[in-house]
Amino acid sequence: MLLRPLLAFCSTAFALAAAAPAAIQGDQQTLVLARADANSTAGSTALATERGPSKVFSVPPSIIVPKVKNVQVGERPYFLVSNMTDSPLKKRLESCSEDPLRVTQFSISHRGAALQFPEHTVQGVHAAARQGAGVIECDASFTKDRKLVCRHSQCDLHTSTNILAIPELAAKCNQTFVPASGNKPASAQCCTSDITLAEFKSLCGKQDGFNASATRPEDFLYGTPAWRTELYDTCGELMTHQDYIREVDALGLSFTTEAKAPVVAMPFQGEYTQDEFLDQIVDEFKQANVHPSRVWLQSFRLSDVVYWVQKHPDFGRQAIFLDERTDTPEGLVNATALSTMQSIAAQGVQIIAPAFPWLLTVDNATNEIVPSEYAKNAKEAGLKIITWSLERSGPLAKVASGKDYYYTTLWSVIKSDGQLMDVVHALASKVKVLGMFSDWPATVTYYANCFGLLGGYQDPDRN
Ligand SMILES: *[C@@H]1O[C@H](CO)[C@@H](O)[C@H](O)[C@H]1NC(C)=O
Ligand SMILES: *[C@@H]1O[C@H](CO)[C@@H](O)[C@H](O)[C@H]1NC(C)=O
Ligand SMILES: *[C@@H]1O[C@H](CO)[C@@H](O)[C@H](O)[C@H]1NC(C)=O
Ligand SMILES: *[C@@H]1O[C@H](CO)[C@@H](O)[C@H](O)[C@H]1NC(C)=O
Ligand SMILES: *[C@@H]1O[C@H](CO)[C@@H](O)[C@H](O)[C@H]1NC(C)=O
Ligand SMILES: CC(=O)N[C@H]1CO[C@H](CO)[C@@H](O)[C@@H]1O
């Protein structure tokens, strides 16, 4: 996918929500997740022959419950609600302040809990689970020895790990460190495909960012925006895709793996094709005996999603097309057209996921945040919607002056942090998304619990 430099860090995507039957006990929701058993292959076959996404969850071979019972959202959601101007929404959110909280698949962890924890690390996964995220993301790229690892880009090791501080590994980077000089910023490019799995596992995860004025490689590593923190940059543990599956399975949660667009030319090393990369992602879930109803695959390439739909229909049926055609004016017009939406649906794709600004617009008569034409046409074409990513923008008072990507369509009305809840509410109650990616899942977890949203296909009004 496109890497969009924001300040000194790269901002990109995310991906989706998870699924399973919900059992309601008294007034408390207990989320239960479908899990593959020894007969999961038979289960998958049955799944693939059913019609309609709601049927995905009717074949729970066995049931597990999220391991995290004591969900902790911390102070942030309360801080945001207290900054809202008076409204029925504010009253409602205040009324939930002392309610117990449950894991919800409406709350999707974007790369862990990247607002404070190094992305795609074991520590970030655990933070997201504690915050009640029901679905956890891994962006998958491959190493030189073609093993799958979690990184948000094939070539972000120089900004998201300490590789430049380890001379023997830094020497293997596709582009070794070039110090800043004059007006030229410092640069480097280190890709997962430059090193082996064993070398990858020896690295430490850190906040994604860099120091453009660095003259020494060790100075390049830091450039975190002030509203994040380096408090947890204490050698975050990196994960292979298999490590990720093991961690998230042990937490009893659902999965969302994104096939990152390769930066190297495919076939890699003359023989590893894009299809093999896509197969490998699915195979690792099968090997771990994970039921497809717990897996929400994603890609920015429509051809990848269509490949999964055709080749692996059990996993393809809830695969997500991440749409970034929205990022140019002409692309947005194309993407918005009902005919385009229909042609995507006609290829068997059921879920589309643009960045959240493209789902919203401002009603200039009332200043209300309402669904965009894009959102209406997606729905009209029968597509379900997931969106990304909340909590990547820092203080909302600065989104207009800073031309923050995620608030592009809302710059005229967003002035303070409490309005984050108005944005979440518009996406949840008007666009009726299945789930939301967030860099700090606690915020969406609080909202979803207050409104009883279970996420994925479990909520009857968006099934
Ligand atoms: C799997 O299916 C076979 C054949 O239908 C059955 O005999 C066996 O008991 C099943 N195993 C489990 C663990 O459900
Ligand atoms: C919300 O926070 C902003 C500072 O970003 C402040 O100016 C505003 O008064 C606060 N609003 C409420 C209702 O507390
Ligand atoms: C950025 O790099 C410059 C030059 O190497 C160094 O003086 C400065 O301390 C670095 N800044 C940070 C935040 O590390
Ligand atoms: C928009 O659609 C037209 C017609 O299909 C196509 O030629 C053009 O390349 C598209 N442009 C973008 C930016 O997607
Ligand atoms: C409201 O105004 C903004 C900027 O002036 C414009 O981009 C947006 O499309 C308008 N919204 C609607 C629904 O017309
Ligand atoms: C991912 C990757 O390997 N990118 C580049 C590495 O360097 C060569 C030569 O400079 C480029 O051609 C690759 O695209």
Mean pLDDT of 260-285: 98
Q: What is the mean pLDDT of residues 64-80?
A: 92
Per the CB < 8 A criterion, the answer to whether 205 and 235 are in contact is: yes
Q: 358, 361, 409: which to mutate for ligand 5, most atoms within 8 A of CB?
A: 361
Percent above pLDDT 70 for the chain: 86
Handedness of CA 218, 224, 226, 231 (dihedral sign): negative
**219 in a structural domain:** no
Over residues 340-368, mean pLDDT: 98
Confidence of residue 53 (pLDDT cuts 50, 70, 90): very low
Q: What is the pLDDT of residue 17?
A: 30
Give the pLDDT band (50/70/90) at residue 25. very low
pLDDT beyond 80 at 61 = no
Instruction: Give the per-residue pLDDT at 349.
Output: 98
pLDDT class of 460 with cuts at 50, 70, 90? confident
The answer to whether position 227 is within a domain reads: no
Count of the separate structural domains present in the chain = 1
Note the pLDDT of residue 40. Answer: 34
- The confidence score (pLDDT) of residue 32 equals 32
CA distance 365 to 82: 26
CATH number at residue 120: 3.20.20.190
pLDDT bucket at 36, cuts 50 / 70 / 90:
very low
Find the mean pLDDT for residues 299-319: 97
Pick the residue whose CA is nearest to atom 4 on ligand 4.
Answer: 334
265 in a domain, yes or no?
A: yes
d(CA 243, CA 262): 21
Is there a domain that residue 220 lies in? no
What is residue 193's predicted lDDT score, i.e. its pLDDT? 98
Asked if the model's pLDDT at residue 359 lies above 80, the reply is yes
Over 70: is that where the pLDDT of 264 sits?
yes
The answer to whether the CB of 38 is under 6 A from ligand 1 is: yes
Region 257-262: what's the mean pLDDT? 98
Average pLDDT of the chain is 88
The residue contributing the CA closest to ligand 4 atom 3 is: 334
**The domain containing residue 458 runs over which residues?**
13-152+236-462
Mean pLDDT, range 385-399, rounded to an integer: 98
pLDDT at 358 over 50: yes
pLDDT score, position 445: 98
Maximum alpha-carbon separation in the chain: 67
| pLDDT tops 50 at residue 255 | yes
List all residues 6 or more positions away from 257 whose beta carbon is below 8 Å from its beta carbon.
137, 138, 139, 140, 241, 244, 281, 285, 295, 297, 298
Q: What is the pLDDT of residues 170-198, one digit of tens each?
A: 999 999 999 999 999 999 999 999 999 99
Strands (E), 275-398: 298-299, 320-323, 351-354, 360-363, 368-371, 384-385, 387-390
Residue 16's pLDDT is: 29
Q: Which of the two residues, 102 and 41, has the higher pLDDT score? A: 102
- Rounded distance between C-alpha atoms, residue 300 and residue 253, angstroms: 24
Residue 117, pLDDT above cutoff 90? yes
Residue 23: pLDDT above 90?
Answer: no
Q: What is the atom index within ligand 2 of the atom nearest the CA of 86?
A: 13
Using the predicted structure, report yes or no on whether residue 282 has a pLDDT greater than 90: yes
Residue 247 counted as domain residue = yes
Write down the pLDDT at residue 268: 98
Please spell the DSSP secondary structure of 288-317, one letter per residue.
TT--GGGB--EES-HHHHHHHHHH-HHHHT
Question: Is residue 202 one of the residues assigned to a domain?
Answer: no
Distance 12 CA to ligand 3 centre (A): 25
**pLDDT value of residue 41:** 33
Phi first, then psi, for residue 90 (nearest 5°) are: -60, -45
pLDDT at position 50, please? 30
Q: Is the pLDDT of residue 37 over 90?
A: no
For residues 55 and 330, what is the distance between their CA atoms, to the nearest angstrom? 37
| Secondary structure element (H or E) that encloses residue 64, with its range | strand 62-64
Ligand 5 binding pocket mutation candidate from 412, 413, 430 (most atoms within 8 A of CB): 412
- The pLDDT, as a whole number, for residue 433 is 98
- Give the pLDDT of residue 33: 30
Beta strand ranges found along 65-198 (DSSP E): 104-109, 133-142, 148-150, 175-178, 187-189
Q: Is residue 386 part of a domain?
A: yes
Smallest CA separation from ligand 6 atom 8, residue? 174
How does residue 457 score in pLDDT terms, banded at 50, 70 and 90? confident
Q: Inter-axis angle of helices 302-311 and 274-287, to 10 degrees?
A: 50
- As a whole number, mean pLDDT of residues 303-313 equals 98
**pLDDT interval class at 3 (50, 70, 90):** very low
Ligand nearest to the CA of 324: 4
Q: Is residue 31 part of a domain?
A: yes
Q: pLDDT tens for residues 409-422?
A: 999 999 999 999 99
3-state helix, strand, coil in the chain (%, to 5): 35, 20, 45
Residue 1's pLDDT is 35
Please provide the distance, in angstroms rounded to a whole number, between the alpha carbons at the two ends of the chain. Answer: 29
| Ligand number nearest to the C-alpha of 376 | 5
Task: Please report which confidence band the pLDDT of residue 142 belongs to, taking 50, 70 and 90 as the band edges.
Answer: very high
Q: Which residue has the higher pLDDT, 222 or 89?
A: 89
Stretch 330-348: mean pLDDT = 98
